[in-house]
């Protein structure tokens, strides 16, 4: 099997738009999927799709949350290996505000909860989510 960097060299990777929803206490939102793994809301950008529209679509499909705003520019990028795909992931995070946290549960989001950096390291995460959370140390709003 190819290494992460061999895949990138071959220019094969999946781009994923992720919502960075931060509450007033500086905690960030993660969603729990039906398999027990926690992840940031959002997922793949379809070919030809604009990133903000992809993020809105993904959040609607997963949670039915109403988006108030998505920042124009990403907060950060993260390259990570996937737990489920055979190609690396290019995760692109956008600070996102939602109207409320009343989700409609689905296989992709059974629960939405806020975590601190330390709390998130104690739960079951996808490998790409683990790497992403390590990068979050550089975001001043997060505790």
The tens digit of pLDDT for each residue in 63-121 reads 999 999 999 999 988 887 777 767 778 899 999 999 988 898 888 899 999 999 999 99
Is the pLDDT confidence value at 11 over 70?
no
* Distance separating alpha carbons of residues 64 and 56, to the nearest angstrom: 10
In tens, the pLDDT along 31-40 reads: 999 999 999 9
Would you say 62 and 109 are in contact if contact means Cβ atoms under 8 Å apart? yes
Residue 117 buriedness (CB in 10 A; 0-12 / 13-18 / 19+):
middle
DSSP-assigned beta bridge partners for residue 42: 18
Residue 137: the pLDDT is 77
Residue 8: the pLDDT is 56
Of 101 and 10, more confident: 101
In tens, the pLDDT along 43-63 reads: 888 888 999 999 999 999 999
Is the pLDDT confidence value at 24 over 70?
yes
Residue 140: the pLDDT is 79
DSSP string covering 13-68, please? -EEEEEEE-B-TTS-EEEEE-TTS-EE-SEEEPPTT--HHHHHHHHHHHHH-PPEE
Q: CATH class for domain 4-135? A: alpha beta
């Amino acid at each position: 099997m190819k290494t992460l960097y061999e895949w990138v060299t071959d220019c094969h990777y999946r781009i994923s738009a992720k919502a960075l929803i931060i509450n007033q206490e500086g905690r960030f939102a993660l969603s729990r999927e039906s398999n027990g793994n926690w992840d940031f809301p959002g997922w793949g950008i379809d070919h030809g799709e604009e990133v903000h529209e992809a993020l809105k679509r993904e959040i609607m499909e997963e949670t039915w949350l109403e988006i108030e705003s998505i920042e124009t520019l990403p907060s950060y990028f993260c390259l990570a290996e996937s737990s489920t795909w055979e190609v690396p992931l290019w995760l692109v995070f956008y600070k996102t505000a939602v109207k409320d946290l009343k989700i409609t549960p689905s296989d992709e989001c059974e629960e939405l909860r806020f975590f601190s950096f330390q709390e998130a390291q104690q739960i079951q995460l996808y490998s790409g989510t683990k790497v992403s959370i390590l990068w979050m140390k550089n975001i001043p709003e997060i505790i």
